[in-house]
Amino acid sequence: MIKPEPFKFLCPQCGYSKIVKPKSDVLNSVAMINICPQCKSKMELKKLNIIDKLFG
C-alpha cells in the first residue's frame, strides 16, 4: 500500500501555511478546505520539501 505524501497549503496573501497529512481519500475533500482562515484568500497547494519534513 502506498502511503500518501503529506502536503501543505500556503496562503500567498498573508503567508499562512498548514500541513496536511492525508489518511485515505481525504484528497477528495481537501479541495473544499483550501480557504485561508486568516484572510479568506484561496491558498495554494504545495508539496512538502525536505525542509518542511525536517521541521514539520
Query: Which range, of 1-9, 11-19, 26-34, 48-56, touches Zn ion by CB under 5 A?
Result: 11-19
User: Which residue of 4, 6, 8, 16 would you call a contact of Zn ion, by CB under 5 A?
Assistant: 16
Classify residue 52 as exposed, middle or buried by CB count within 10 Å of its CB (0-12, 13-18, 19+): middle
Q: Residue 50's CB: how many other CB atoms inside 10 A?
A: 7
What is the grid cell recorded at 24? 485515505
Query: Which range, of 2-10, 15-23, 26-34, 44-52, touches Zn ion by CB under 5 A?
Result: 15-23
Per CB under 5 A, does 9 bind Zn ion? no
